[in-house]
Amino acid sequence: MNDFPSTFHAAVQRMFDVRDQVVVVTGAASGLGLAMAEIMAECGARVVLTDVNPAALEGAANRLRNAGLQAFSMELDVASAEQVDRVFERIEREHGAINTVFANAGIGTGGNLWSKEGKLESFSRDDWKKVIAINLEGVFWTMQAAARAMRPRRAGSIIVTASTAGLRAEPIVGYAYIAAKAAVVNLVRQAALDLAPFGVRVNAIAPGPFNTNIGGPGPRPAHVVEAFHRTVPLGRWAEPHEIQGLALFLASPAASFVTGGVYAIDGGALALSQCDAQDLEQDQWSE
């Protein structure tokens, strides 16, 4: 097998060079946020991991630091606009200009269409408020703080974790989650128009089924996993590290002309017209 040409590594490094970037990742204690933080740190960025769970956050940051990477941690509840502002101001004081922000924090609280509590007339108002506060308002506060940091410097990249549930109906998730993710998609498009004249790019990643704890910790029933595998053309859920290539691309010079986009990473699930209800437990749809 022939070696790569001598120019290969230099070209790849130039396109994907994020060395010494200051990167902020919300919801970084586990799952997709941790995977995003990890790839950016592995490529030489100075990464500030934020999360509402201080113990898990410190464990994640220590994992990266123990690997010799530049990783820092700051506790953050994105549902608090004031706290978001304070943390971003502190990051700029301690680390300098913010180059990239991953607005990733999110939760999956609330019943889905297969549960009685997930029906429209029964959906918990408390669950609605909690999910909207984090998955929509928290994303907005994060984007707002990022824009304040980036617009005056006329450079930066904001990357939002949306969902395929924001692009079509998905009965596996609840009303609040699907409403928030749909709203986030248009927030990204609007912000891209707003910030483009200032050289700030805004894009969204729309994950499909990933093996994370957003739906709750612990193993899922085998028959449920098997059923959902049949709704993904690639035949499986993704692992968190499989988000890393797209995350790095959107943060890097390789994406210098990319803004206002929503990029699905879903194993082909959106290519299906809808989730095949015949593959799922029909009695879960009953009252």
For residue 43, being part of any structural domain is answered with: yes
Could you tell me which of 161, 213, 165 has the C-alpha nearest to residue 187?
161
- Percent of the chain past pLDDT 90, that is, above it, reads 77
Number of separate domains in the chain: 1
177 is catalytic: yes
Query: Does residue 177 have a pLDDT over 70?
Result: yes
The string of pLDDT tens digits covering residues 68-117 is 999 999 999 999 999 999 999 999 999 999 999 999 999 988 888 888 89
User: Is 9 part of a structural domain of the chain?
Assistant: no
Predicted confidence band of residue 259 (pLDDT cuts 50, 70, 90): very high
Distances (CA, A) of 183 to 3, 15, 162, 232: 47, 31, 9, 24
Half-sphere exposure of 66 (CA within 13 A, CB side): 6
CATH code of residue 188: 3.40.50.720
Residue 221, pLDDT score: 63
In-domain check, residue 10: no
Q: Say whether pLDDT at 283 is over 50.
A: no
Question: Which of the following is catalytic: 72, 102, 177, 237?
Answer: 177
Q: Does some domain include residue 4?
A: no
Residue 117 falls inside a structural domain: yes
Domain that holds residue 245: 15-285
Higher per-residue pLDDT: 183 or 111: 183
Mean pLDDT over 210-215 rounds to 76
**Is 47 a member of any domain?**
yes
Lowest mean pLDDT among 34-48, 165-179, 247-261: 165-179
Residue 251 belongs to a domain: yes
pTM, two decimal places: 0.92
CB 243 within 8 A of CB 212: no
Q: Flag whether 3 is in a domain.
A: no
pLDDT at residue 215 tops 60: no
